[in-house]
Chains A and B, each alone.
Chain A
């Protein structure tokens, strides 16, 4: 049982000392992405190989035997973020990163560890220059990042509470907080100007102050781990890779507002996160860091994991509360706000996973350190899920205020295959689409809001010239329509009508009047919807309409998809100059859409054509082309 912060420091010291005495530590990524691409087999292979050579040791052996000074430890770590290149294996203390490691590579890796060399072929190679990078922090994907919320992800064994304490002073934050009054803790978070990482950017300290001021026999802290944005996995990675930082953040928040109970609301689709959180809770309980009279301060706090059923809208505070209460996940009218009357009618603070991870860091390293990162109005960092048509995709974290250009071209390595950048969709279904002209916009709450986008859930989808923005808008609207809870008129019916219009446009059946109607409905849905889901739902449509109106018009007037994506707008034509009039295509066409006179050019009846492409295959003269 840990009773004071000195004991935490003692654990930190002995653990790090033990780690240094080992020859090396091999961290095998056990994030969901790497596990899916085969990291458990790599882990088992490494263990077996090391045992075979009698090189294997564990942190427990090293801790027990103070004279032990050799052996290699192997641990499963959380997500390193570079999931695309997984399974990832890192060799410490050198910080060598191996990519796409398979079980066959195990012997070579162990050889290299013993010989203190590197396996060149497993290193990351720049796709353009083919330059190899041995150290993780030299790889451009990592080089331009600043990891605060993710500082432990990929660095430690998330299933060992001692590793959390040993790396970056884990649980020192709560110890520091408990040495202050709750008001002082609140003051720290207020002066750090920590803004909610869940999307809205509302200052966490201000929210806490409201809840702290409420008189109630019970208050709650809820960690919002209902990450529902397609393509976003920042919160999942933190919960999987650094669960204790979430627990610590919740404890600090609980102390600041006077709550004794916390819930972590996680999607049931995140089984690994659920498992690691539950494991972390029981370890923290066993260590006396959760439960009654924490660190002898008189403060008591308990945490329970609540699995959600996978509704996007449950990321909205009041819907999330309804879901925990066993009701249908539907937003409730506000006021009252949860900070006044939330879960079971009691004052409740809901913070996002990343926000809480940041709370732990702020209370460990101080406000000045935190505000030295980022911009004055948006201090700190922000994690993003960088996806789409960039060379390097994955989970990243950058200081607030970096430009989109830096993220896309430095960290992301530019557009895949040297194609042209077209746009970036920020904030998922609630966010907006920004163009090449807007690449110099900085990533922080206020600058994005000014241009009709938002950090939202933190998804960054990069599109190249082969992406159809109308189809992207339709995709997000379809997502919203499927995920709308259906409660309020505008979100339920408005997004359906917007989807219907977008569907007509990509089907080549839209009209120019449709565009005006789309804007009108979109604006009304923004103003009139009950909750944030509906209020932001039109953003992708309205921002693409503003920036790429000509593409919408091309779909409508010319029945043409400039990016060549929309199936319904594809057409097959016979190039008269190339056609010899052999009639093979007409004989092959399953629907009799091709006709003509032998030895003169044939023609395709577009009305009859079912776009199967059979004619293209049989034409010997390459006379049939697909146009859009």
Chain B
């Protein structure tokens, strides 16, 4: 067994890749601003410097550990070095912390406090303020950027898109898009992972809290809320509850007290998605056309396919995402039941996702010219609103969701975790193929968190080839394999964010921690298990909706309300073809 010394304490080596990992394992929280375990090593912030006997001072993140190393982490020169690095990073940083939306969750702020940076000796020279890009739902403020490059790497390495890179040299260096285009004109899919990983307020999601309050306070609007599956297992983190603890009941209570007139569960629409998508899948299997079928719940993936793989658009399920299905049902059918016009209803979605903000604004998703979903706010934004309202979230009583879109099955709930859509479809598909009741609803083949996993399932006389992908870089790999004929599948589930929606960029910022994501996922599986019904096809409320408005899965009525079409995007990421029927 090999070991090394950290500050006089021996630490056993167990395959750690860097001295940083070893030092952290030894219980010493070396500061970093540019290091992330899921990205390549950048080595730029220079905060994790350590002293190694015989080698001098090196950055721990890019030094491989070796047996017998004698490492110290707190010498006088190292402390000076760290303080100086922070002082330098702060020297040109926009330090208007009180009005920064990242205040309280800012790594730079935290480290400045931790290292007692109270006196900045560098005079702020009259640097011109760089313009803020407000074109997209992701706001970019280069004046707050510390050039750690995490956004550059997460967009390039995890999402395979590479919207950002460094431009210019020396102190003029900034992170920018190609040719300085506005973000809205780039290949950005609005997944928001760049903002989630940003250690400061340089990349933030456009806040829409005020619009939410305006609607809630407007007596002429009936505010209807829908809550996505992944929100219930993460929002508690903002209120010191452990990740994964389901707080759906408290959420509904909070929203009611804030003025919502109805609170629905998006998982209900997920159940409908299962019925529609499975129907569509077997139709494709029958006809043999446009196989494999890709899921279409993830708006970031849909945009990615539209701009980068238009040749595969016919393979995307025509199902709208659960958010848009529920919005459509509310505006098209439920409004009538309430005796209201669509514009009198104001639908707010609470989503773990930032791309949902973009999705809700798509021209396809309207009823009589009114958006089906009027406003999307993220888990983080809702937590802010609850705090602003002074609600003691953790001690709220639980309230059930409203009907008719309140009853959900476990299958709809696990939509929030990677592999969940596939599993929910399998729970129905199995019964359709075998014409027998499925006893054990767990399909462990599609569970897990690795970015690209595939399996072959033999059900009765049929073999289904499934692939489950999270992270668009993995989707790219899979699509290229399909193109080259290296791989063949029947059904492919794609989620842009690591871990699926539980890792969405709208989630509390602990999001970037893999362990936290896994606990959230476990929370969803626990909810699935604990619920009374685990198969979408057994949701009585869903069946009622079909009876009342949609007839049966795949009907013309269902298509009108629940399906959509896709169009290719041009080089500037604009859709130029008209909507079908809107020439």
Please list the residues of chain A having a beta carbon within 8 angstroms of any beta carbon in chain B: 311, 313, 328, 330, 332-335, 480-490, 492-497, 500, 517, 520-521, 524, 527-530
CA distance A529 to B46 in the complex (A): 7
**B64 close to A335 (CB less than 8 A):** yes
Establish whether residues A335 and B171, one from each chain, have CB atoms under 8 Å apart when the complex forms. no
Could you say which residues of chain B place their CB within 8 Å of the CB of A488?
Answer: 43-46
Indicate whether B172 reaches chain A with its CB closer than 8 angstroms: yes
| In contact, A492 and B173 (Cβ under 8 angstroms) | yes
Q: Let me know if A333 and B42 touch, CB within 8 A.
A: yes
Pair B147/A492 contact, Cβ less than 8 Å: yes
The verdict on B10 contacting chain A, using a C-beta distance below 8 Å, is no
A484 B170 Cβ-Cβ under 8 A: yes
Which residues of chain B are within 8 angstroms of A335 by Cβ–Cβ distance?
62-64
B88 proximal to A (CB < 8 A): yes
DSSP class of A's interface residues: helix, strand, loop or mixed?
A: helix
Bound complex: CA A584 to CA B166 (Å): 58
A500 touching B122 in the complex, CB below 8 Å, given contacts A488-B43, A492-B171, A492-B173: yes
Q: Decide if B173 touches A485 in the complex (CB within 8 Å).
A: yes
Would you give the shortest CB distance from B31 to chain A, in whole angstroms?
12
CB pair B170 A495 closer than 8 Å: yes
Q: Bound complex: CA of A328 vs CA of B176, how far in Å?
A: 13
A490: B residues at CB distance < 8 A:
46, 84-85, 88
Query: Is A481 in contact with B171, judged by CB distance below 8 angstroms?
Result: yes
**A311 — which chain B residues lie within 8 A by C-beta?**
169
Query: If A333-B43, A488-B44, A492-B147 touch, does A528 touch B169 (CB 8 Å cutoff)?
Result: no
Is the beta-carbon distance between B166 and A520 smaller than 8 angstroms? no
Complex interface: chain A residues within 8 A of B121 (CB):
517
Pairwise interchain contact B172-A497, C-beta atoms closer than 8 A = no
**A328 and B166 form a contact (CB under 8 A):** yes
Most chain A CB atoms below 10 A, which of B42, B88, B89, B92: B88
Q: Which of B59, B64, B170 contacts A496 (CB 8 A)?
A: B170
Give the CA-CA distance A521 to B122 in the complex, in Å. Answer: 10
Do B84 and A520 have beta carbons less than 8 Å apart?
A: yes
Task: Name A331's closest neighbour in chain B (CB-CB).
Answer: B43
A490 to B57, CA, bound (A): 14
CA gap between A485 and B168 in the complex, in Å:
8
Closest chain-B Cβ to A57's Cβ sits at a distance in Å of 52
Interface: B81 (CB within 8 A): yes
Minimal Cβ-Cβ distance residue in A for B121: A517
Q: Taking A481-B171, A500-B125 as contacts, is the C-beta distance between A528 and B85 under 8 angstroms?
A: yes
User: Chain B, 312-329, contact with A by CB distance < 8 Å: what is the 0/1 string?
Assistant: 000000000000000000
When C-beta atoms are compared, the residue in chain A nearest to B90 turns out to be A493
Inter-subunit contact A487/B170 (CB<8 Å): no
User: Which residues of chain B have C-beta atoms less than 8 A from A528's C-beta?
Assistant: 46, 49, 57, 81, 84-85
Q: Would you call B530 an interface residue if the criterion is a C-beta within 8 Å of the partner chain's C-beta atoms?
A: no
10 interchain residue pairs of minimum CB distance: A486-B173, A333-B43, A333-B62, A493-B88, A496-B171, A524-B84, A484-B170, A528-B46, A481-B170, A488-B44
Contact B89 A493 (CB under 8 A): yes
Residue of A nearest to B148 (CB): A489
Q: A492 touching B85 by the CB < 8 A rule? A: no
CB within 8 Å of A: which B29-61 residues: 41-47, 49, 57, 59, 61
> Which A residues touch B24, using CB under 8 A?
none
Interface residues of B (CB under 8 A from A): 41-47, 49, 57, 59, 61-64, 77, 80-81, 84-85, 88-89, 91-92, 121-123, 125, 147, 149, 165-166, 168-173
Check A500/B123 contact, CB under 8 A, given A328-B165, A333-B41, A528-B49: yes
Which residues of chain A have C-beta atoms less than 8 A from B57's C-beta?
527-528
- In angstroms, Cα B121 to Cα A300, docked, is 59
Q: Which of the residues A480, A482, A489 comes within 8 Å of B85, measured between beta carbons? A: A489
A402–B81 Cα distance when bound, in Å, is 38
**A484 and B169 contact, CB distance less than 8 A:** yes
- A-B contacts besides A486-B173, A520-B80, 15 pairs, CB < 8 Å: A311-B169, A332-B43, A480-B170, A485-B169, A487-B149, A488-B44, A488-B46, A490-B85, A490-B88, A492-B171, A493-B92, A494-B84, A494-B88, A517-B121, A530-B44
B159 to chain A, nearest CB (A): 18
Q: Which B residue's beta carbon lies closest to that of A313?
A: B169
* Complex contact B44–A487 (CB within 8 A): yes
Given A493-B171, A500-B123, A530 contacting B80 (CB threshold 8 A): no
CB distance from B382 to the nearest CB of A (A): 36
Nearest Cβ distance between residue A557 and chain B, in whole angstroms? 20
Nearest-CB residue, chain B, relative to A534: B46
The CA of A495 and the CA of B172, in the complex, are separated in Å by: 12
Nearest B residue to A524, CB-CB: B84
14 A-B residue pairs with Cβ-Cβ distance under 8 Å, sorted by A, are A311-B169, A485-B169, A485-B170, A486-B147, A486-B172, A487-B44, A489-B45, A490-B88, A492-B147, A494-B88, A497-B91, A527-B49, A528-B46, A528-B85
Q: Which residues of B contact A332 (CB under 8 A)?
A: 43
Given contacts A489-B88, A493-B89, A528-B46, contact A482 B62 (CB under 8 A): no
Question: A313 contacts which chain B residues (CB < 8 A)?
Answer: 169
Distance to closest chain A CB from B89 (angstroms): 6
Verify A497–B88 contact, CB threshold 8 A. Answer: yes
**Shortest beta-carbon distance, A500 to chain B, in Å?**
6
**Which residues of B are found within 8 Å of A530, using beta-carbon distances?**
43-44, 46, 59
* Chain A residues closer than 8 Å to B125, beta-carbon distance: 500
Least CB distance, A534 to chain B, in whole angstroms: 9
Q: Which residues of A contact B49 (CB under 8 A)?
A: 527-528
- The CA-CA distance from A482 to B61 in the complex, in Å, is 27
Contacts A489-B89, A528-B49 known; A330 to B81 CB distance under 8 Å?
no
B81 with A482: CB separation less than 8 A = no
Q: Which of B59, B91, B169, B170 contacts A333 (CB 8 A)?
A: B59
Q: How far is the CA of A527 from the CA of B44 in the complex (A)?
A: 14
Q: Which residues of A contact B88 (CB under 8 A)?
A: 489-490, 493-494, 497, 521
Question: In the complex, are the beta carbons of A483 and B169 less than 8 A apart?
Answer: yes
Kindly report which residue of chain B lies nearest to residue A336, judged by CB atoms: B64
Give the nearest-CB partner of B45 in chain A: A489
Q: How far is the CA of A494 from the CA of B92 in the complex (A)?
A: 11
Min C-beta distance of A27 to chain B, whole Å? 41
Picked from B41, B42, B64, B169, the residue with its CB within 8 Å of the CB of A486 is B169
B55, chain A: closest CB distance, angstroms: 11
Residue of A nearest to B49 (CB): A528
Q: Among B44, B63, B122, which residue has the most Cβ atoms of chain A within 10 A?
A: B44
Complex CA–CA separation, A524 to B47 (angstroms): 12
B93 CB to closest chain A CB (Å) equals 10
Task: Determine how close the nearest CB of chain A comes to the CB of B42; give it in whole angstroms.
Answer: 7
Q: Which residues of B contact A482 (CB under 8 A)?
A: 169-170
Give the chain A neighbours of B122 by CB distance below 8 A.
497, 500
Find the A residue at minimum CB distance from B47: A489
Q: B46 to A486, Cβ gap below 8 A? A: no
Question: Smallest distance from the beta carbon of A226 to chain B beta carbons, Å?
Answer: 15
Measured between beta carbons, the chain B residues less than 8 angstroms from A496 are 91-92, 170-171
Nearest opposing residue in chain A for B80, CB measure: A524
- Given the interface contacts A335-B62, A530-B44, does A521 sit within 8 Å of B173 by beta carbon? no
Closest residue on chain B to residue A311 by CB atoms: B169
Kindly list chain A residues whose C-beta atoms are within 8 Å of the C-beta of B84.
490, 494, 520-521, 524, 528
**Chain B CB within 10 Å, residue with most, of A481, A486, A500, A521:** A486
Question: Which residue of chain B has the shortest Cβ distance to A491 in the bound complex?
Answer: B170
| Interchain CA distance A527-B121 in the complex, whole Å | 20
CB distance from B167 to the nearest CB of A (A): 8
A486 pairs with B63, CB closer than 8 A: no
Query: Bound complex: CA of A542 vs CA of B228, how far in Å?
Result: 60
With A and B bound together, what is the CA distance between A480 and B170 in angstroms? Answer: 8
When distances are taken between beta carbons in the complex, the residues of chain B under 8 Å from A489 are 44-47, 85, 88-89
Q: Is the CB of B77 within 8 A of A527?
A: yes
Is the Cβ of B62 less than 8 Å from the Cβ of A493? no
Q: Among A330, A335, A490, A528, which residue has the most Cβ atoms of chain B within 10 A? A: A528
Residues of B within 8 A of A494 (CB): 84, 88
- On whether A486 and B171 interact (CB within 8 A), knowing A527-B77, A528-B81, A530-B43, the answer reads yes
Minimal Cβ-Cβ distance residue in B for A490:
B46
A261 to B57, CA, bound (A): 36
